Amino acid sequence: MRKIELIIEIKRRVCMLTAIFDNGRRISLGERWSKEELLHLRKEGTFLCPQCKERVILKLGDKKMYHFSHLKRTECENFYENETEYHMQGKLQLYQWLAKQGMKPELEYFDRRINQRMDIYFTFNNHPYALEYQCSSIQESLYLKRTLGYLKSGYLPLWILGGNQLNRRKQYLTTLNDFHYLFLQKTPSNTWMIPFYCSNTEKFIIHHSIQPVTIRKMISVQKIYETSQISIKNLLIPQNTDPLCPEHWIKEISLFKSQIIRYPGSINNPFLLALYNNYLNISLLPPYLGLPVLGSTCIATPPLIWQTFIFVDVFLKQKRDVLFTFNDVYQAFLNRVHKGHIQIRKIAFINIEETVSSLIHHYLLLLVKIKILTESNNNSFKINQPIYIPRTIDEQHILENTFYQEFSTVIF
């Protein structure tokens, strides 16, 4: 028993890549040291932790990367991520990647004002950045606390997830949990992305144009870059990427439908009730229900479901040629949110009202582009033709094919 405790104790000891030498000089292992130079330093003096000022020792073994390790457990444990080799390697590689671009980064920079230690500090376009390389799950509250701390002190936080967090099911399909969703970043073109970095392969894996299909599964355009192929500018201000592949989207939506048919769950499921009460069959829905819409990452409820709610709550109730407004749709949506039928995803530092309103706006504009609605003045809309519901599965497939052939370039 004691042996086990001892091992855990050793494992927990905080490791790092920077320390203060006797003469007060900061020693960063991010700089290029030879083993001889480091052996010499170690012989000549002692090292202290820059943060708690406790003694640390320089480990120069052949099995693990060179690092400093605390002699005993300290308060530092509250500040450092459980430093696995994977994390330390990645931190070092990201530091070197920034240094090569002339960014003058600082490894394990500790800001006393906020009592926070970031993996890497750097400036870009005159903005100070706090880069955090996150390879293990942390509590949402801790993520928020750290991010807020940075923002309040004028840093722009840049969170990069460890490639070890990536759960790729197919080349275009990834499963994200609530923890991953914290790392969603809005690009200047209003799409969503999450950057990953794998320290084993030394590659960035960037998920662009993320579109959820179900509560966990999302489709994205995945780009893999060697560190030499991508700059910090490309990462922070990504250029437009390739569009999503329509075939993948259609396939996953259809898989989702068959999943609901096979496992319908409770009879009180509000989505199934909405279909039932409106004499609809999930296999015979019009093809424009379940579209990728800009901003739908902020809704945990799958797009097929929230779009069907709008369809039954607003469109099916409209009399021909009668106008309805953006606000009618927005209120109907909020109504479902209040009833708990539509779940909003918690995304840090995003104004939910604004995001939902902009999502509905994008959705209505998309429906105009695909000729389901016409927009008249004053933000009012009307349905273009009597709503047609396919009567057989064959007919639904034909309609769906024709629909995507005609509008793919508009939708994706």
What are the residue ranges of helices labelled H in 56-212?
A: 85-100, 140-152, 178-181
Cα–Cα distance between 197 and 129 in angstroms, integer? 17
Instruction: Figure out which of the listed residues 51, 199, 297, 396 binds Zn ion, where binding follows CB under 5 A.
Output: 51
Neighbouring CB atoms inside 10 A of 148's CB total 14
Place of tokens 């914290």: 182
Q: How far is the CB of 51 from Zn ion (least distance, A)?
A: 5
* Smallest distance from Zn ion to CB 67, Å: 13
CB of 82 to Zn ion, least distance (A): 14
Q: Which tokens hold the place of 84?
A: 């696995």
Taking contact as CB under 5 A, which single stretch among the options 21-29, 52-60, 61-69, 216-224 is the one that binds Zn ion? 52-60
**What is the layout of strands, in order, in the sheet containing 18-21?**
15-16, 67-70, 55-59, 47-48, 18-21, 26-28
| Residue 65 C-beta: closest distance to Zn ion, Å | 19
Q: How far is the CB of 107 from Zn ion (least distance, A)?
A: 15
Nearer Cβ to Zn ion (17/49): 49
CA distance 373 to 384: 5
Site size for Zn ion (CB under 5 A): 5
Which of 43-51, 98-106, 151-159, 307-315 is the region at the interface with Zn ion (rule: CB under 5 A)? 43-51
Which of 38, 48, 52, 370 lies at the binding interface for Zn ion (CB under 5 A)? Answer: 52
**Cα–Cα distance measured from residue 285 to residue 388, given in angstroms and rounded to the nearest whole number:** 9
Please state the closest distance from residue 80 (CB atom) to Zn ion, in A: 8
Residue type, 286: P
Q: What's the DSSP call for residue 339? A: T
Residue 49 Cβ vs Zn ion, minimum distance, rounded to whole Å: 3
Q: How far apart are CA 224 and CA 246, in angstroms?
A: 21
Please report, as residue ranges, which positions from 66 to 105 form the binding site for Zn ion (by CB under 5 A): 74, 76
Q: Which is nearer to Zn ion, 51 or 355 (CB)?
A: 51
From the list 51-59, 111-119, 157-165, 312-320, the region that binds Zn ion by CB under 5 A is: 51-59
Close Cβ partners of 399 (under 8 Å, ≥ 6 residues apart): 286, 287, 390
**Nearest residue (CB) to Zn ion, 76 versus 299:** 76
Q: Which C-beta is closer to Zn ion: that of 114 or that of 368? A: 114
With respect to Zn ion, which residue has the nearer C-beta, 110 or 179?
A: 110
* 25 vs 152, beta carbon nearer Zn ion: 25
Calpha distance 396→390 (Å, rounded): 5
Identify the residue among 19, 20, 27, 49 touching Zn ion (CB under 5 A): 49
Q: Could you tell me if 87 and 81 are in contact, meaning their C-beta atoms sit under 8 angstroms apart?
A: yes
- The distance of closest approach from Cβ of residue 57 to Zn ion in the complex, given in angstroms and rounded to an integer, is 12
Per CB under 5 A, 57 contacts Zn ion: no
* 165: Cα separation from own chain's centroid: 11
> Which residues contact residue 397 at a Cβ distance below 8 angstroms, ignoring those fewer than 6 apart?
none
Question: 52 or 370: whose CB is closer to Zn ion?
Answer: 52
| Residues 275, 212, 270: CA angle, nearest 5 degrees | 25
For Zn ion, which is the closer residue by CB, 98 or 107?
Answer: 107
* Stretch of residues binding Zn ion (CB under 5 A), selected from 45-53, 115-123, 277-285, 397-405: 45-53
Count of alpha carbons within 13 angstroms of residue 238, beta-carbon side: 22
Residues in contact with Zn ion by the rule CB under 5 A = 49, 51-52, 74, 76
